Structure 1
């Protein structure tokens, strides 16, 4: 069953459902070793297309998910940002996570933070979530910095070994960040 799909704009970005024209640029960014430095593994084109199909399907079912991000001025596909209910059983499940991944061309301009703030707003104000989490490999300082910029706080007791990363792998240990609805409202004004 298809539900109403939530999409939104920010001053510079459009968070929207995926299009077929996003497949090639998504595969290109997913094949960039620097973009994928803290993710496993580099996908084949079939794997990349299948990941987009799953993401599109979840947005169709829920109305939200990991949205494609488009640069409004140029119309270019930039990557994705959004909300997701992880399939893996994590120590803090059930949960809704926020995540992002952008092509390197778009790094260093605040786009990830801008898109993530829009996703948080949807999560707290439209979906009524009580908490949104984020997690990343222990040494991924770039993503951790975005988590901090968007108001998330690292859970001092939240470090965990990601169950989908093989034992002994350098990326297995993860850090956990959290943001509650009350803290969001305090920082952005009560919208109810």
Structure 2
């Protein structure tokens, strides 16, 4: 079982008791406004998401981690690697992503978790390039991408929802682990 510890976080696979706290995060319109079409998600959709992420772990050898606060054991959100199948133009890329509950914003948790994910991508999975895909206007995610050392690759449009996206990238040989 893969588990990564940072100074303040544990990145780990999903547990059954993560469902309700993640559903609470997914039910927050402020959190979800930059995710997919911006719709909130209930318990059933959240359960399906976790199941899909666990399948990606089994199929790809990577996936989205649960992000747990080391000090309290609270589920703060998620981070990890995924195949961005919704955007075929970037394939066969692997993307890094993150989503935290709003009460955890502004404390550096997203950057800390994403940085540990990038180390995992480079050192444990041997990936040589990672992308980040963010809706234009999501300044917090743009800031995390910059902190990771990513640079803007190109601007595109979400093929299903029609909104503008930034695709950032980094060659992991340039990543500062």
Shared fold (TM-score, shorter chain, > 0.5) = yes
When Rg is computed on C-alpha atoms for both structures, the one with the higher figure is 1
Q: Say if 2:5 is the partner of 1:6.
A: no
Give the equivalent residue in structure 2 for 1:51.
49
SS in 2 for 1:121: helix
C-alpha contact 1:6 1:64 (8 A) present in aligned 2: no
Long gaps (5+) in structure 1: none
Alignment match of 2:100 (pick from 88, 102, 120): 102
Alignment match of 1:180 (pick from 168, 171, 174): 171
Q: Deviations over 1:55-94 (max 9, x none)?
A: 1222234342100010011011110000011222432211
C-alpha contact 2:85 2:91 (8 A) present in aligned 1: no
Alignment match of 1:122 (pick from 120, 124, 139): 120
Long gaps (5+) in structure 2: none
Q: Which has the higher strand share?
A: 2
- TM-score, structure 1 length as denominator? 0.87
Aligned length: 175
What's the RMSD between the two structures over aligned residues?
1.3
Q: Deviations over 1:5-62 (max 9, x none)?
A: 4321111100001011110011111110110111222123211111111112222343
